[in-house]
Amino acid sequence: MSGADEGAGRRLGEVWQQGDFPFYFVQITPNTYNGTLPLLLEAQSAAMAIPHTGMAASTDTCGPEDNFGGGHPHNKQQIGRRLALWVLAKDHGRKDLVYCGPRFKELRREGDRLRVAFDRIGGGLVTRDEKAPDSFEIAGADGNFVPATAMIEGASVLIHSDQVADPAAMRFAWKDLAQPNLMNKEGLPVSVFRAALGRE
Protein backbone atom coordinates (compact mmCIF):
# COMPACT_ATOMS: atom_id res chain seq x y z
CA MET A 1 0.00 0.00 0.00
CA SER A 2 1.46 3.35 -1.02
CA GLY A 3 1.74 6.46 1.11
CA ALA A 4 -0.71 8.15 -1.25
CA ASP A 5 -3.30 5.43 -0.55
CA GLU A 6 -2.88 5.82 3.19
CA GLY A 7 -3.16 9.58 2.85
CA ALA A 8 -6.38 9.25 0.87
CA GLY A 9 -7.86 7.08 3.62
CA ARG A 10 -6.95 9.66 6.26
CA ARG A 11 -8.44 12.51 4.22
CA LEU A 12 -11.75 10.66 3.88
CA GLY A 13 -11.92 10.38 7.65
CA GLU A 14 -11.06 14.05 8.09
CA VAL A 15 -13.73 15.23 5.64
CA TRP A 16 -16.44 13.23 7.39
CA GLN A 17 -14.94 13.86 10.85
CA GLN A 18 -15.35 10.19 11.72
CA GLY A 19 -11.78 8.89 11.73
CA ASP A 20 -11.00 5.76 9.69
CA PHE A 21 -14.49 4.64 8.73
CA PRO A 22 -15.42 2.09 6.04
CA PHE A 23 -16.46 3.19 2.55
CA TYR A 24 -18.06 0.55 0.34
CA PHE A 25 -19.18 1.20 -3.22
CA VAL A 26 -20.87 -0.49 -6.17
CA GLN A 27 -19.22 -1.28 -9.49
CA ILE A 28 -20.74 0.37 -12.56
CA THR A 29 -22.81 -2.15 -14.52
CA PRO A 30 -22.23 -3.01 -18.19
CA ASN A 31 -23.45 -0.29 -20.54
CA THR A 32 -22.28 1.48 -23.67
CA TYR A 33 -19.51 3.94 -22.82
CA ASN A 34 -17.79 4.14 -26.24
CA GLY A 35 -15.34 1.44 -25.19
CA THR A 36 -14.11 3.26 -22.08
CA LEU A 37 -16.01 1.34 -19.40
CA PRO A 38 -13.21 -1.22 -18.77
CA LEU A 39 -10.88 1.65 -17.84
CA LEU A 40 -13.43 2.98 -15.35
CA LEU A 41 -14.01 -0.46 -13.83
CA GLU A 42 -10.25 -0.99 -13.58
CA ALA A 43 -9.97 2.31 -11.70
CA GLN A 44 -12.81 1.32 -9.37
CA SER A 45 -11.02 -1.92 -8.53
CA ALA A 46 -7.77 -0.02 -7.93
CA ALA A 47 -9.59 2.20 -5.43
CA MET A 48 -9.82 -0.78 -3.09
CA ALA A 49 -6.14 -0.18 -2.30
CA ILE A 50 -7.36 2.71 -0.14
CA PRO A 51 -7.76 1.46 3.44
CA HIS A 52 -11.25 0.54 4.65
CA THR A 53 -12.84 0.36 1.20
CA GLY A 54 -14.56 -2.43 -0.70
CA MET A 55 -16.48 -2.92 -3.93
CA ALA A 56 -19.60 -4.92 -4.74
CA ALA A 57 -19.17 -6.36 -8.23
CA SER A 58 -22.18 -5.92 -10.51
CA THR A 59 -21.48 -7.35 -13.99
CA ASP A 60 -24.03 -10.14 -13.46
CA THR A 61 -26.82 -8.03 -11.95
CA CYS A 62 -28.43 -6.66 -15.13
CA GLY A 63 -28.97 -7.62 -18.75
CA PRO A 64 -30.02 -6.46 -22.20
CA GLU A 65 -33.68 -6.87 -21.30
CA ASP A 66 -33.41 -3.90 -18.94
CA ASN A 67 -30.89 -1.92 -21.02
CA PHE A 68 -28.17 -3.29 -18.74
CA GLY A 69 -29.65 -1.29 -15.89
CA GLY A 70 -28.82 2.00 -17.59
CA GLY A 71 -25.49 1.92 -15.80
CA HIS A 72 -27.09 0.82 -12.52
CA PRO A 73 -27.59 -2.73 -11.26
CA HIS A 74 -31.09 -4.02 -11.89
CA ASN A 75 -30.78 -6.74 -9.25
CA LYS A 76 -30.30 -4.42 -6.29
CA GLN A 77 -31.05 -7.16 -3.77
CA GLN A 78 -27.93 -8.99 -4.90
CA ILE A 79 -25.88 -5.78 -4.64
CA GLY A 80 -27.21 -5.18 -1.13
CA ARG A 81 -26.19 -8.70 -0.14
CA ARG A 82 -22.67 -8.20 -1.50
CA LEU A 83 -22.26 -4.90 0.33
CA ALA A 84 -23.53 -6.56 3.52
CA LEU A 85 -20.87 -9.27 3.16
CA TRP A 86 -18.14 -6.58 3.20
CA VAL A 87 -19.68 -4.98 6.30
CA LEU A 88 -20.10 -8.25 8.17
CA ALA A 89 -16.58 -9.46 7.35
CA LYS A 90 -14.68 -6.20 7.78
CA ASP A 91 -16.65 -4.36 10.45
CA HIS A 92 -18.42 -7.07 12.45
CA GLY A 93 -15.68 -9.68 12.69
CA ARG A 94 -17.33 -12.45 10.67
CA LYS A 95 -14.33 -14.59 9.74
CA ASP A 96 -16.48 -17.32 8.17
CA LEU A 97 -17.65 -15.23 5.20
CA VAL A 98 -16.33 -14.96 1.67
CA TYR A 99 -16.99 -11.29 0.95
CA CYS A 100 -15.12 -10.66 -2.30
CA GLY A 101 -14.88 -12.28 -5.72
CA PRO A 102 -11.62 -13.80 -6.97
CA ARG A 103 -8.86 -11.25 -7.58
CA PHE A 104 -5.99 -11.44 -10.05
CA LYS A 105 -2.76 -12.58 -8.37
CA GLU A 106 -0.14 -13.56 -10.96
CA LEU A 107 0.48 -14.15 -14.66
CA ARG A 108 2.87 -16.87 -15.88
CA ARG A 109 3.74 -18.17 -19.31
CA GLU A 110 3.67 -21.90 -19.99
CA GLY A 111 4.76 -22.50 -23.57
CA ASP A 112 2.14 -20.98 -25.87
CA ARG A 113 -0.31 -20.50 -22.98
CA LEU A 114 -0.73 -18.09 -20.10
CA ARG A 115 -1.68 -19.16 -16.60
CA VAL A 116 -3.75 -16.55 -14.77
CA ALA A 117 -3.61 -17.16 -11.00
CA PHE A 118 -6.17 -15.80 -8.55
CA ASP A 119 -6.49 -15.32 -4.82
CA ARG A 120 -9.67 -14.86 -2.76
CA ILE A 121 -11.21 -17.78 -4.60
CA GLY A 122 -13.40 -18.86 -1.67
CA GLY A 123 -14.63 -22.41 -2.27
CA GLY A 124 -13.00 -22.47 -5.70
CA LEU A 125 -13.28 -21.09 -9.22
CA VAL A 126 -16.42 -21.97 -11.20
CA THR A 127 -18.55 -20.47 -13.94
CA ARG A 128 -22.07 -19.17 -13.58
CA ASP A 129 -23.37 -21.25 -16.51
CA GLU A 130 -21.13 -24.32 -16.05
CA LYS A 131 -19.45 -23.59 -19.41
CA ALA A 132 -15.78 -22.79 -19.99
CA PRO A 133 -14.69 -19.37 -18.68
CA ASP A 134 -15.41 -16.63 -21.20
CA SER A 135 -14.30 -13.02 -21.78
CA PHE A 136 -10.55 -13.77 -21.80
CA GLU A 137 -8.32 -12.26 -24.49
CA ILE A 138 -4.65 -12.90 -25.19
CA ALA A 139 -1.93 -11.01 -27.10
CA GLY A 140 1.67 -11.26 -28.11
CA ALA A 141 4.25 -8.50 -27.81
CA ASP A 142 2.43 -6.58 -30.58
CA GLY A 143 -0.52 -5.96 -28.25
CA ASN A 144 -3.10 -7.28 -30.72
CA PHE A 145 -5.67 -9.01 -28.52
CA VAL A 146 -7.74 -11.94 -29.77
CA PRO A 147 -10.32 -14.10 -27.97
CA ALA A 148 -8.78 -16.90 -25.91
CA THR A 149 -10.05 -20.31 -24.92
CA ALA A 150 -9.90 -20.81 -21.17
CA MET A 151 -9.90 -23.69 -18.73
CA ILE A 152 -10.05 -23.65 -14.93
CA GLU A 153 -7.21 -25.49 -13.17
CA GLY A 154 -7.43 -25.17 -9.41
CA ALA A 155 -6.91 -21.55 -8.39
CA SER A 156 -5.95 -20.47 -11.90
CA VAL A 157 -7.24 -20.26 -15.45
CA LEU A 158 -5.13 -21.44 -18.39
CA ILE A 159 -5.74 -19.40 -21.57
CA HIS A 160 -4.64 -20.00 -25.16
CA SER A 161 -5.20 -19.00 -28.77
CA ASP A 162 -3.85 -20.63 -31.93
CA GLN A 163 -3.38 -17.09 -33.27
CA VAL A 164 -0.79 -16.19 -30.60
CA ALA A 165 2.34 -18.33 -30.56
CA ASP A 166 4.27 -16.20 -28.05
CA PRO A 167 1.76 -14.82 -25.54
CA ALA A 168 2.80 -11.81 -23.50
CA ALA A 169 -0.39 -10.20 -22.18
CA MET A 170 -4.02 -10.86 -21.36
CA ARG A 171 -7.15 -9.00 -20.43
CA PHE A 172 -10.49 -10.03 -18.99
CA ALA A 173 -13.97 -8.66 -19.70
CA TRP A 174 -12.44 -5.77 -21.65
CA LYS A 175 -15.69 -4.67 -23.34
CA ASP A 176 -18.41 -2.25 -22.27
CA LEU A 177 -21.13 -4.89 -22.28
CA ALA A 178 -19.08 -7.80 -20.94
CA GLN A 179 -20.86 -10.07 -18.47
CA PRO A 180 -18.20 -12.68 -17.73
CA ASN A 181 -19.21 -16.01 -16.26
CA LEU A 182 -16.18 -16.61 -13.99
CA MET A 183 -16.82 -16.47 -10.25
CA ASN A 184 -16.18 -18.33 -7.02
CA LYS A 185 -18.48 -21.02 -5.64
CA GLU A 186 -20.04 -18.39 -3.38
CA GLY A 187 -21.39 -16.61 -6.48
CA LEU A 188 -19.10 -13.55 -6.35
CA PRO A 189 -17.81 -12.66 -9.84
CA VAL A 190 -14.37 -11.77 -11.13
CA SER A 191 -14.14 -8.14 -12.18
CA VAL A 192 -12.35 -6.49 -15.12
CA PHE A 193 -8.55 -6.65 -15.13
CA ARG A 194 -5.56 -6.89 -17.44
CA ALA A 195 -1.97 -8.04 -17.04
CA ALA A 196 1.24 -8.46 -19.00
CA LEU A 197 4.30 -10.57 -18.30
CA GLY A 198 6.72 -8.56 -16.19
CA ARG A 199 4.07 -5.91 -15.44
CA GLU A 200 1.57 -7.59 -13.10
- Reported as half-sphere exposure (CB side, CA atoms, 13 A), residue 90 has a value of 18
Q: State how far the Cα of 73 lies from the Cα of 102, in Å rounded to an integer.
A: 20
Per-residue pLDDT of the chain (200 residues; tens, 9 = 90+): 455 555 565 666 677 776 778 999 999 999 988 999 999 999 999 999 999 999 999 999 988 887 777 778 889 999 999 999 999 999 999 999 999 999 999 999 999 999 999 999 999 999 999 999 999 999 999 999 999 999 999 999 999 999 999 999 999 999 999 999 999 999 999 999 999 998 65
Burial label, 7 (beta-carbon count in 10 A; 0-12, 13-18, 19+): exposed
Which amino acid is located at 184 in the chain? N
Answer yes or no: are the C-beta atoms of 139 and 145 closer than 8 Å: yes
Give the start-to-end residue ranges of the domains of the chain. Answer: 3-91, 103-196
**Most distant CA pair in the chain: distance in Å?**
56
Element (H, E) at 150: strand 149-153
